Each structure stands twice: as C-alpha cells, then as structure tokens.
Amino acid sequence: MLTMRQEQVEAFRQHHLQKFEDEMVEHLKKFAPQRCKVAGEEAVRQVIRIGIENAKKYGFINRGAVRLYIELMFAFGSYFDTDPQYTWASAVLDNPEQLEQMVRADRLWNQARKYLAKVSGPKHEHMHAALQRLKQSRAEDFIRPGEPLDESILLTLPSIFPQRCDYLGGTALRALVRKGLDLAHSYQFETDTGKVLVVALALAVGHRFADDPLWGWARRRMDTSRFPDPEVREKKLYSAAKVYLEIALAADRVSQ
C-alpha cells in the first residue's frame, strides 16, 4: 500500500495552498480592482493568508466558503468578523448551531447582500453620496463646543452616513465610536481633530484599519516609530485619507 510521509503531506498541502492563493489574487483583481491596486499584490497575498486562517476558526475550510470569507474581507475590511458595525456577520459566524459550512456561508452572503442593499443602495448611490459628504466635511465639523467628544461625534455622524447610522442603531454606533477613540488613544492622537479622523476611518474602512494590510497607506502613517510626533502623524494620515477618498470616489463613479 502506497503511503505518504508527513513531509510529503505537508508539501502537498502547501502546493495547493499556494495554488489557491495565486488563483485568489487573480480573482480579487477583478472582484475589487481598486482596493487591490491601492494595497499592492504583497498586501493582497497577506490578506488572503489571514483570511484562510481566520476562516478556519469558523469552520470554513471548503474552497467556496473560504473564497467568500476573503471576498467579504475585501468588501468590509480584513477583520469584519469582529467589527461592531457588522453584527450581522458575527451573528452568523458565532452561531452555535451545528450547520454545514456552506449553509452558513450562504447565510453570511445573504446577510451581506441585505446590508449592502440598505446601506450602500442598489447602485451604491448611498455610499457615493456619503463619500461626497465626507470629502466636503472637516474634522472640526464633528466637534461641538461644550459637548463630550464621543457624543459630539455621535450627533454628527448621521449627517454624513445616514443609512449606515440608521442600520447600526445607537448601541452599535456607540461601540464603534468608543473603539475608534480607544484606537486614537493607543496611537497617542492628542487633538480632538486627530481623534475624529481615527473614528471616521474606523467607520469608513473597518475598526482595525491600523493593522489591516488592505489599508497599508493608513498603517504606515500611524506608525509611531516612523512618525513619533502625533501632530505630524495626524497631518500625514489626514492627507493620505483625502487622497484615498478621491480614488474611492473616482472608482465609484466608474462602477455606477
């Protein structure tokens, strides 16, 4: 009887993982061309590897289920599974029911479609309008004199992202703002404008954008060893965010 040594099994597994990774790179260039272009191929590959490992935690090991999981990472951020604004995802992924993985994958996809239809709009018109409003706003617009910063942000966000805020509701939105402010504190952003910037990015591209390979442009500007002065970091992050916003709007106009 022909048997395979452990090293042969591992080599076989690695060969198929590499083949899947290569295929996913080509697929994602079509699925999310703008994000792939901005991130760069090495970052795309890093996200795919993270996705394979994270999907495994939820019992997703079949090719189709893993592929869907990675697609959702590119749509909502690499750590969408723990993001307070995507509770529909955690509700499916953390469901204790012992369901076959493709059944759960179908549920996850259906919830993502419902979310996008309500929040982005059938032709992404809500998202495009929100990006336009964000482009025209300033961090100072989120700061109300005499109001605690978190409350001030919560009161202002609906004017920028009305559909998303309506969908989230007060509890999830408050949790996201709190996470954003905690993140700003951990990176030593000292000004209210810097804190607002971090919260806005957490809402726009995902709550863990600072360590998400998809958003390398943000991660580099958040690097405290590279830019130890928090004011310099804030200015560089703000400038990079503006550039990305222009790119996102241009890509959105093409896709409409």
Return the closest-CA partner of residue 69 out of 128, 10, 109, 16. Answer: 109
Share of the chain above pLDDT 90, in %: 80
Q: 205 and 77 in contact (C-beta within 8 Å)?
A: yes
Mean pLDDT, range 138-158, rounded to an integer: 94
pLDDT at 13: 58
Return the closest-CA partner of residue 69 out of 29, 106, 114. Answer: 106
Residue 121 has pLDDT above 90, yes or no: yes
pLDDT at 5: 55
**Tokens at residue 256, please?**
């409409």
What's the rounded Cα separation, in Å, for the pair 85 and 234? 24
Question: pLDDT per residue over 192-236, tens digit each?
Answer: 999 999 999 999 999 999 999 999 999 999 999 999 999 999 999
Could you give the 3-state DSSP secondary structure of residue 182?
Answer: helix
Question: pLDDT per residue over 164-183, tens digit each?
Answer: 999 999 999 999 999 999 99
Return the closest-CA partner of residue 237 out of 224, 254, 255, 253. Answer: 224
Q: 75 and 112 in contact (C-beta within 8 Å)?
A: yes
Q: Alpha carbon of 42 to those of 38, 78, 116: distances in Å?
A: 11, 15, 28
Residue written as tokens 């209210």? Answer: 192
pLDDT band of 17, cuts 50, 70, 90: confident
pLDDT at 250: 79
Residue 41 has pLDDT above 80, yes or no: yes
How would DSSP label each residue in 66-131?
Answer: HHHHHHHHHHH-TTGGG-GGGHHHHHHHT--S---HHHHHHHHHHHHHHHHHHHT-TTSHHHHHHH
Residue 9 has pLDDT above 60, yes or no: no
